[in-house]
Amino acid sequence: MARPGRPKKIRATVSPSVDAFLDMLVAERGAAANTRDAYEHDLIEAAAWLKAREVPLDAAGTEDLRAYLRHLQSGDEAHHAAALRTVARRLSALRQFYRFLVSEARRSDDPTASIDSPKQGRALPKVLSEEEVRGLIETAQRRGGPDGIRLVALLEILYATGLRVSELVGLPLTAFSRDGRYLVVMGKGGKERMVPLSDPARKAMEAYLPVRPAFLVKGREARQRDFLFPSRISEEGHLTRQRFAQLLKELAIHTRIDPAKVSPHVLRHAFATHLLDHGADLRAVQKMLGHADIATTQIYTHVVSDRLKRIVTEHHPLATPPDEGERKG
């Protein structure tokens, strides 16, 4: 018997102002559903904390918000970096919300105007080695069957294109060019970009398309048929981000890689870093990743630089380990 679909998510309503703000994000800025949900979550969390102190979110003052942000940073030192990231993200959401209220004349002042974002050290992206990525793909290939073939296709496309996971799982069938050499991807803000496919990715797709019908369920074809990676159970009609991430964790365990190191986003990082390792142009990588600002892409150059420094230190014939140099001195 087919599994029943999951019940639709019931959204909590904080205030009409929050609802109007979230609607604006989608209608005017073209925010994706995941972006909208992230803003909604952050505002709900802030509103709940303020409500416990009898302060409505819409009417909160600067000191109310400072107290809330201090609360987020409380805790032991081990969680300090994570807390700073949370504070920065929540403050960003609150800034956008109050600026919206001011622009709509729902409020005369912005209580976040004098609050500075916390200073954070630059967090370099986690990256898998080329050998580890190859191991994941080979493990998926050995699995076989429709599920294994689909997983290989997902891995090869992700590693060949660096797509965001939401872009990957939601790819429509029409995303492929007629010759199968590139994908047309609808990214953030409704921006379209073309991304070339590698030979392994094209071959993986040639193997996957004949087994794609195995993921279609009778009675649900209308919702599933437009997606490249349909799901047997998802309400969205396509494979979800959460399920794909779970599949990657399971694959990592079978490949004897720490599952904490593996996620769709880490494979996106690997795509960018490995391209730069092999001499790709930074602007080309920026376009393929769909970054609006090249500064976002430049963080990968630091990962490459650190790796090159380590290679030189470990393998250059004139490089001398510090302790050995001291002994010779």
Domains of the chain with CATH codes: 16-103 (1.10.150), 130-313 (1.10.443.10)
Shortest CA distance to 291 belongs to which of 184, 196, 191, 166? 191
pLDDT band at 282, cuts 50/70/90? low
What are the C-alpha distances in Å from 286 to residues 235, 273, 282?
33, 12, 6
- Confirm whether 302 is a catalytic residue: no
**pLDDT value of position 57:** 95
The answer to whether 37 and 19 have CB atoms below 8 angstroms apart is no
pLDDT tens profile 244-266: 999 999 999 999 999 988 989 88
pLDDT band at 116, cuts 50/70/90? confident
What are φ and ψ of residue 293, in 5° steps? -120, 130
- Confirm whether 134 is a catalytic residue: no
Catalytic residue selected from 188, 254, 287, 307: 188
CA pair distance 310, 81, nearest whole angstrom:
25
- Average pLDDT in the 206-211 region? 93
pLDDT band at 13, cuts 50/70/90? low
CA pair distance 110, 98, nearest whole angstrom:
6
CA pair distance 36, 30, nearest whole angstrom:
10
∠ Cα 247 165 14 (to 5°): 105
The answer to whether 96 and 110 have CB atoms below 8 angstroms apart is no
CA pair distance 276, 131, nearest whole angstrom:
16
The answer to whether 17 and 58 have CB atoms below 8 angstroms apart is yes
CA pair distance 196, 174, nearest whole angstrom:
15
Shortest CA distance to 169 belongs to which of 76, 231, 221? 231
CA pair distance 223, 238, nearest whole angstrom:
8
- Confirm whether 68 is a catalytic residue: no
Catalytic residue selected from 99, 143, 265, 307: 265
pLDDT band at 212, cuts 50/70/90? very high
- Confirm whether 39 is a catalytic residue: no
∠ Cα 308 310 312 (to 5°): 70
The answer to whether 285 and 275 have CB atoms below 8 angstroms apart is yes
Q: How many residues does the chain have?
A: 329
- Average pLDDT in the 176-193 region? 76
Of the listed ranges 24-38, 95-109, 136-150, 284-298, the one predicted with least confidence: 284-298
pLDDT band at 285, cuts 50/70/90? low
Of 15 and 81, the one with more pLDDT: 15
The answer to whether 215 and 227 have CB atoms below 8 angstroms apart is no
The answer to whether 153 and 207 have CB atoms below 8 angstroms apart is yes
pLDDT band at 2, cuts 50/70/90? very low
CA pair distance 277, 119, nearest whole angstrom:
30
- Confirm whether 164 is a catalytic residue: yes
Catalytic residue selected from 223, 268, 269, 274: 268
Rounded to the nearest integer, the mean pLDDT of the chain is: 80
Catalytic residue selected from 68, 98, 159, 300: 300
Q: Is the pTM of this model over 0.75?
A: no
- Confirm whether 291 is a catalytic residue: yes
Catalytic residue selected from 90, 150, 164, 212: 164
Highest mean pLDDT among 69-73, 140-144, 231-235, 322-326: 140-144
Of the listed ranges 99-108, 158-167, 248-257, 295-304, the one predicted with least confidence: 295-304
CA pair distance 135, 324, nearest whole angstrom:
36
